[in-house]
Amino acid sequence: MSLPKHIAIIMDGNGRWAQLKRRPRTFGHIKGTRVAKKIITDCSRRGIKNLTLYAFSTENWFRPQEEVSLLMTILRRYLRRETDNLIKENIRFSIIGDITRIPTDVREAIAKSMEATAHCTGLNLVFALSYGSRQEITDSVREIAQRVARGELAVQDIDESIINSALSTYPTPDPDLIIRTSGEQRLSNFLLWQAAYSEFYFTDVLWPNFTEHDLDQALQVFASRQRRYGRVLTNDKVEKLSN
Ligand code: FPP
């Protein structure tokens, strides 16, 4: 079975799950974190090389203060408690997003986890935190323009690979498979450039109910799709293109 080299997940539906149980939205985030922990290990043990989780978007800052604060506490706690486990599982941790908006204690926990797992060679685990793809693209355009202004880069030399390497996801390969839970079928400002040829898997399952079985289903659907990258190709050529 062909496995995606990079899975990106929009973990949606925590609030609705909690509401259905007549509990506060934050209860859904706590359960959602447990599910994320499990799925990270499942991906790692299945030999997935890269996993990006959309944990907090730039738009999420507009949520009620109490919810934002709880999400930050969850992240800090997760990193403090889980880093040893990540090392044990040979998982390297990093983040993408606007770190300057993240509270100092969470930033410290992120830095510590990144440093402690820097030597790990298994799964490359990326949390998208305070992340928005339009902001990321805007930042990369600004960086490229500055290089041009300094005379380090000629305008005619700007190509896709220059843009690619100016994005925060570099050098992680583009996601082969993007999963979104909870029935919503949109990207919500997630990896817009990087998703150009991604396969999408949408499921009605709310993130706190997402299991290893749902992951398996997504992987099976992915394996059954023929990726043509806009071309007409024979199977062996498709295989080669994706390698
Ligand atoms: C979307 O559900 C989920 C989020 C905005 C936060 C996702 C964060 C977690 C699952 C915790 C992640 C933590 C780690 C450590 C990976 P929603 O609140 O938008 O749900 P709704 O659409 O039903 O309201």
Question: Is 208 touching ligand 1 by the criterion CB < 6 Å?
Answer: no
Q: Which residues fall in the annotated binding site for Mg(2+)? A: 12, 199
Residue 124 backbone dihedrals phi, psi, to 5 degrees: -95, 105
Give, using CA atoms, the residue closest to atom 24 of ligand 1.
15
Q: Is the pLDDT of residue 123 over 50?
A: yes
Query: What pLDDT, on a 0 to 100 scale, did the predictor assign at position 232?
Result: 76
The verdict on whether 105 is a catalytic residue reads no
Question: Domain extents for the chain?
Answer: 6-139+174-242
For ligand 1, say whether the CB of 33 is within 6 Å of any of its atoms: yes
Angle at 60 between CA 191 and CA 205, to 5 degrees: 70
Query: What is residue 144's three-state secondary structure?
Result: helix
For residue 114, what are its two tokens? 């990144």
Question: Which residues are paired to 127 by β-bridges?
Answer: 53, 95
Query: How many whole angstroms separate alpha carbon 170 and alpha carbon 131?
Result: 15
- Which amino acid is residue 144, in one-letter code? I
pLDDT value at 133 more than 50 = yes
For residue range 170-187, what is the model confidence (pLDDT) as tens digits? Answer: 999 999 999 999 999 999
Helix %, strand %, coil % of the chain (to 5) = 50, 15, 35
What integer pLDDT is reported at residue 236 of this predicted model? 57
Return the pLDDT at 14.
98
Dist. CA 14 → ligand 1 center (Å) = 5
Kindly give the distance from the C-alpha atom of residue 12 to the centroid of ligand 1, in angstroms, as a whole number: 6
* 50-74 pLDDT, tens digit each: 999 999 999 999 999 999 999 999 9
Catalytic residue among 42, 60, 139, 189: 60
Task: Answer whether residue 115 shows pLDDT above 50.
Answer: yes
Feature table: binding site:
12-17, 25, 29, 57-59, 61, 63, 180, 186-188, 199
53 lines ligand 1 (CB under 6 A): yes
Q: How large is the average pLDDT for residues 45-50?
A: 97
CA distances (Å), origin 41, targets 60, 89, 100, 158, 226 = 26, 8, 29, 39, 27
Helix axes 65-88, 104-117, angle to 10 degrees: 20
Q: For the whole model, what pTM was predicted?
A: 0.93
The finding on whether 14 has its CB within 6 A of some atom of ligand 1 is yes
Class of domain 6-139+174-242: alpha beta
Q: What is the pLDDT of residues 145-159, one digit of tens each?
A: 999 999 999 999 999
Is 157 annotated as catalytic? no
At 241, the pLDDT band (50, 70, 90 cuts) reads low
Catalytic residue among 12, 174, 176, 214, which? 12
Instruction: Give the pLDDT score at 179.
Output: 98
Is residue 109 within 6 Å of ligand 1 at its C-beta?
Answer: no
- In the predicted structure, residue 233 carries a pLDDT above the cut 80: no
- Please tell me what DSSP assigns to residue 34: H
Residue 186 CB: number of other CB atoms within 10 A?
11
111's tokens = 């830095």
Distance 139 CA to ligand 1 centre (A): 25
State the pLDDT at residue 226: 75
The predicted structure's pLDDT at residue 211: 98
Vertex 125: Cα angle to 121 and 136 (nearest 5) = 125
Structure confidence at residue 108 (pLDDT): 97
243 pLDDT above the threshold of 50: no
Annotated binding site for substrate: 13-17, 25, 29, 57-59, 61, 63, 180, 186-188
What b/e sequence results for 59-80 when a residue is b if at least 16 CB atoms lie within 10 Å of its CB, and e otherwise? ebeebeeebeebbbbbbbebbe
The strands making up 92-96's β-sheet, listed across from edge to edge, are 92-96, 124-131, 50-57, 6-10, 177-180, 199-202
Per-residue pLDDT, averaged over 205-209, amounts to 98
